[in-house]
């Protein structure tokens, strides 16, 4: 059977060019996505409609031929599975209701995968449509990142923005926050297990809000929950590769790589090339082109792609952005990058 290039890279293999996919590669920068999205009554309904979500997942694969597809879903499906109201305000993003009682969430956590079975149906549809040489990625939000949104639904007066509020809450009520993280570890593990069973060949843990944490809080809110999540996923029998993405934590990226048993570490836009090399000496890496540079295009984009290729191209590396693609990125800029690295 054909082994996708992404999986080879995550095993530590190198090739003539790195495999490539982009975070948020299915999204608003594609006109076909915007037309599809207009047919759904709301974003949650869109995510939980297997046929529509599969089509969104496949659109960038048809247009660009990326080496991997990532299932179209959202990290905030997990709070919904735990009994918290989740909705999206047009032009404002996600909103969450009151945090459910921790005991009730603990009861619901083992059923998270079953509750979100439409995502599994999406994965099955996509895997059936994808060529065997292209990998299929499933994902979840990391416990701390998901908790920031869940806690914001309850404490709107601590500070402006999910990170400020949730971080203050983590200091003020550590036992409750740690209990929420524990619940999220179990729910996320069950969700990832379901995705692997449904056809996902790689799983990614998105820690979007790891930035700005002092080292002791990073250990408590990021390292320990990630360690627990990886252990639980493996205990459930999942064997596919795991990618961890502790965005905004370049100063602690080496520690993360050494202490969390993921198979690869995704690096963000601000990660220095030399830090990336040191992480790459521990395990494969992914990243880290600036989405704003992809938007700008031109010779500066070419230079940075070349710099990344020179710095990281000799080791196991997955070419990607350091964060998600932006809605106003010109499509020809994406094509330019793919041609530059030899993927088109």
Q: How does pLDDT run across 52-65, given as a tens digit for each residue?
A: 999 999 999 999 99
Residue 26 assigned ligand-binding role: yes
CA angle 169, 259, 247 (to 5 degrees): 55
Handedness of CA 81, 219, 205, 262 (dihedral sign): negative
Interval 170-216: pLDDT, tens: 999 999 999 999 999 999 999 999 999 999 999 999 999 999 899 99
Per-residue pLDDT, 182: 98
Residue ranges making up the domain that contains 217: 5-340
Per-residue pLDDT, 157: 41
Q: How confident is the model at residue 334 (pLDDT cuts 50, 70, 90)?
A: very high
Q: How confident is the model at residue 93 (pLDDT cuts 50, 70, 90)?
A: confident
pLDDT surpasses 50 at 254: yes
Per-residue pLDDT, 1: 72
Q: How confident is the model at residue 152 (pLDDT cuts 50, 70, 90)?
A: confident
pLDDT surpasses 80 at 91: no
Averaged pLDDT for residues 275-302? 98
Asked if 41 and 339 count as a contact pair (C-beta separation under 8 A), the reply is no
d(CA 176, CA 155): 13
Residue positions annotated with a catalytic role: 24, 28, 37, 74, 149
d(CA 249, CA 149): 19
d(CA 197, CA 190): 11
d(CA 105, CA 212): 28
Structure tokens at 31: 């006109």
Judging by DSSP bridges, how do beta strands 285-289 and 317-321 pair with one another?
parallel
Per-residue pLDDT, 165: 84
d(CA 229, CA 205): 9
- Start-end of H helices in the chain: 5-10, 31-37, 43-47, 50-64, 77-81, 102-108, 112-115, 117-129, 143-152, 162-172, 174-197, 215-218, 224-235, 253-259, 273-280, 291-296, 298-312, 331-340
Interval 99-137: pLDDT, tens: 999 999 999 999 999 999 999 999 999 999 999 999 999
pLDDT surpasses 70 at 46: yes
Residue 333 assigned ligand-binding role: no
d(CA 71, CA 223): 25
Q: What is the domain count for the chain?
A: 1
Rg, C-alpha atoms of the chain: 19
Asked if 3 and 301 count as a contact pair (C-beta separation under 8 A), the reply is no
Asked if 174 and 213 count as a contact pair (C-beta separation under 8 A), the reply is no
Q: At a CB cut-off of 8 Å and minimum separation 6, what does 102 contact?
A: 176, 179, 180, 183
Per-residue pLDDT, 153: 60
CATH number at residue 203: 3.20.20.210
Percent over 90 (pLDDT), the chain: 91
CA angle 284, 189, 271 (to 5 degrees): 30
Residue 74 assigned ligand-binding role: yes
Between 55-59, 93-97, 279-283, the lowest mean confidence (pLDDT) is in 93-97
The mean of the pLDDT values for the chain is: 95
Structure tokens at 166: 């949730």
Residue 129 assigned ligand-binding role: no
Q: Tally helices (H) and strands (E) across the chain.
A: 18, 9
Residue 149 assigned ligand-binding role: yes
Averaged pLDDT for residues 63-82? 98
Per-residue pLDDT, 154: 45
């Amino acid at each position: 059977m054909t082994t996708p290039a992404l999986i080879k890279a995550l095993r530590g293999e190198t090739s003539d060019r790195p495999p490539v996919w982009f975070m948020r590669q299915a999204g608003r920068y594609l006109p076909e996505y915007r037309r599809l999205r207009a047919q759904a009554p709301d974003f949650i309904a869109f995510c939980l409609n297997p046929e529509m979500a599969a089509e969104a997942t496949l659109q960038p694969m048809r247009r660009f031929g990326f080496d991997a597809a990532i299932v179209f879903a959202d990290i905030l499906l997990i709070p919904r599975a735990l009994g918290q109201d989740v909705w999206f305000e047009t032009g404002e993003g996600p909103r969450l209701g009151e945090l459910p009682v921790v005991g009730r969430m603990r009861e619901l956590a083992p059923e998270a995968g079953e509750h979100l079975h439409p995502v599994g149906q999406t994965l099955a549809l996509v895997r059936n449509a994808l060529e065997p040489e292209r990998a299929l990625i499933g994902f979840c939000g990391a416990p701390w990142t998901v908790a920031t949104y869940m806690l914001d639904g309850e404490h709107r007066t601590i500070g402006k923005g999910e990170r400020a509020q949730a971080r203050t809450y983590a200091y003020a009520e550590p036992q409750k926050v740690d209990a929420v993280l524990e619940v999220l570890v179990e729910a996320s593990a069950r969700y990832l297990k379901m995705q692997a069973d449904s056809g996902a060949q790689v799983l990614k843990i998105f820690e979007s809000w790891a930035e700005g944490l002092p080292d002791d809080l990073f250990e408590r809110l990021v390292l320990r929950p990630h360690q627990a999540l990886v252990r639980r996923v493996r205990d459930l029998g999942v064997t596919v590769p795991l990618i961890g993405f502790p965005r905004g934590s370049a100063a602690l990226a080496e520690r993360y790589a050494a202490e969390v048993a993921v198979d690869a570490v995704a690096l963000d836009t601000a990660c220095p090339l030399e830090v990336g090399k040191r992480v790459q000496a521990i395990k494969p890496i992914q990243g880290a082109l600036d989405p704003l540079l992809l938007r700008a295009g031109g010779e500066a984009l070419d230079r940075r792609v070349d710099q990344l290729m020179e710095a990281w191209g000799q080791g196991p590396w997955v070419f990607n952005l350091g964060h998600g693609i932006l809605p106003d990125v010109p499509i020809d800029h994406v094509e330019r990058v793919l041609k530059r690295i030899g993927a088109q």
